[in-house]
Amino acid sequence: MQTELHYDTVFDEQQHFRLLLDSMARPGKINTFPAMEIMPPVGLNQASALTGFALLNADTSYHIAGYNGADIAQYLLVNTASQQASIDTAEYIFLPENHDGRGLEKARVGTPVYPEDSATLIAEAELISEQVVENSLGITLKGPGVNGEARVFVSGINPALLEYLKEQNVEYPLGIDLIVTDKQNNLFCIPRSNAFTYIKTN
Partner 1 sequence: MIENTKYTNKYNFAFIDEATKKEIRRKLLKAVAIPGHQVPYSSPEMPISRGWGTGGLHITLAVIGKEDVFKIIDQGSDASVNACNLREFVNGMTGCKTTFDTAEATLIQTRHRITEEELTDKQIIVFQVPLPEPLRMVERYEYKTLQMHAEADYAKMYVSLYESYVRHGAIMQGAGYPVMVNGRYIMSPSPIPRWDTPNLNQAQTLFLFGAGREKRLYAVPPFTDVEPLEFEDVNFEIEDFSKSECYKTGYKKAFLDEIYSDEGERKFVISDSNFLDKKSEKQETHQYSNKYIDQLQEYGL
Q: Write down the least CB distance from residue 116 to partner 1, Å.
A: 4
Q: Which of 66, 101, 145, 156 binds partner 1 (CB under 8 A)?
A: 145
Helix residue spans in 56-109 (DSSP H)? 69-80
Q: Which of 38, 60, 85, 129 binds partner 1 (CB under 8 A)?
A: 60
Helix-strand-coil split of the chain, %, nearest 5: 25, 25, 50
Q: Write down the least CB distance from residue 46 to partner 1, Å.
A: 19
184 binds partner 1, rule: CB under 8 A:
no
Residues in binding contact with partner 1, number by CB under 8 A: 41
CB atoms within 10 A of CB 41: 16
Angle at 79 between CA 188 and CA 175, to 5 degrees: 40
191 binds partner 1, rule: CB under 8 A:
yes
13 binds partner 1, rule: CB under 8 A:
yes
CA distance 72 to 53: 12
**Greatest extent of the chain over all pairs of C-alpha atoms, in Å:** 47
Q: Write down the least CB distance from residue 147 to partner 1, Å.
A: 5
Half-sphere exposure of 175 (CA within 13 A, CB side): 19
Element at 123 (helix H, strand E): strand 120-124
CA distance 80 to 137: 33
Q: Which of 93, 95, 133, 146 binds partner 1 (CB under 8 A)?
A: 146
Burial code of 46-82, b = ≥16 C-beta within 10 A, e = fewer?
bbbbbbbbbbbeeeebbbbbbeebebbbebbeebbeb
61 binds partner 1, rule: CB under 8 A:
no
91 binds partner 1, rule: CB under 8 A:
yes
**Residues 106 to 135 in contact with partner 1, rule: CB under 8 A:** 111-116, 118, 120
Q: Which of 3, 57, 89, 135 binds partner 1 (CB under 8 A)?
A: 57
Q: Which is nearer to partner 1, 107 or 133 (CB)?
A: 107
Residues near partner 1 (CB under 8 A): 9-11, 13-15, 17-18, 20-22, 24-26, 54-60, 91, 111-116, 118, 120, 143-147, 172-173, 177, 191-193
